[in-house]
Amino acid sequence: MGSVNVLKELEELRSMLDTPKKVYTPGSRLDDSDGAGDAGYYAAGRTSLQVTPTAQPITGSASRGPQYAHALNHAERSADRLGKAIELAEEEMDAALKRTTDVHRSQLKSKEAELREMQRLMQDKERAVSSLRDTLATTKRTYEGRVSQLEGSLAMKDADISALREELSVARAEAEGLAYTARRESAAVGHELDSLRMREAELATTARARSDELSRLSSQLRTERDERRAAVGAAEELRRTVAVLQEELGSVKARSSAEIDALQRRLKAERSIRKACEKVCRSRPGVTLGLPAPPAGRPPSSPTGPCLPD
């Protein structure tokens, strides 16, 4: 309001200077340049220069000199105060614009840093998932190779067991035949009986050794089957772990995408608001920025109005 009063008084003084015979009435309120409050009423006591309607027209520079000089002095003082008021208003407007620009710049930098951090976290998650996939593929190939080897080994062991069983059956049949022959011919061929008994003992030893080998191979077969089941269980556990990680990655991507979109929209809106305010303030000198400064740590709210006069 102080700027409006100063402008009004300046217009009155200019009109009076253009028409010296016009009555000058400095009754409007003026603000002092040093901000002295209500002491800014111009010309204490509201003195005024008046020309009565019945007075004779004053002619000549000597007769109207004091009035003109007095009005001129008032005009000069008013012009000085007006210039100081305009300078103060410009300084306030520059300071407000600088504060607002600094706040917007700081907030933009903070949001850009946050956006970069979120992008970095997403890239780290993607790299971790890719590494887990590679590890799973390698582990899967390793276990598949081991399972194939175990299956081949089991097949070979089964073949060996079958061969040993056949040999054992043949040996038992041979022993029984030899015993039968020995009993039938024992009276005639004693020496051959001794020889056959030695052969029977050898065959029995071989049979026991084959039986022990068969037991050992059966135990090894059971152990290898247990290892195979454990390997299959580990592979299934790894598949479940990968499925859980893939679900977590999907949820993290969805949240990160939504947050990035929201941040980008807010950044775009804030840039548009700041550019519009700066444009209006540059096109209208003598005004101050009518946007409230946002509190620290919070994004600026939508503007409450355009740039308003001080």
Q: What is the pLDDT of residue 301?
A: 47
Mean pLDDT of 46-70: 48
- Split into its structural domains, the chain has a count of 1
Residue 103 lies in a domain: no
CATH number reported for the structural domain that contains residue 134 in this entry: 1.10.287
Domain that holds residue 156: 120-263
Residue 36 lies in a domain: no
Q: Is the pLDDT of residue 252 over 60?
A: yes
pTM for this prediction = 0.24
Q: Is the pLDDT of residue 212 over 70?
A: yes
Mean pLDDT of 196-222: 87
Q: What percent of the chain has pLDDT over 70?
A: 69
Residue 252 lies in a domain: yes
Q: What is the CA 276 to chain-centroid distance, rounded?
A: 28
Contact yes or no for 33/53 (Cβ under 8 A) = no
Contact yes or no for 301/18 (Cβ under 8 A) = no
Q: Which H or E element spans position 130?
A: helix 61-185
Q: Phi/psi of residue 211, each to 5°?
A: -65, -45
Contact yes or no for 235/94 (Cβ under 8 A) = no
Residue 159 lies in a domain: yes
Residue 19 lies in a domain: no
- What span, in angstroms and rounded, lies between the C-alpha atoms of 299 and 295? 8
Residue 175 lies in a domain: yes
Instruction: State in Å, rounded, how far the first CA of the chain is from the last one.
Output: 7
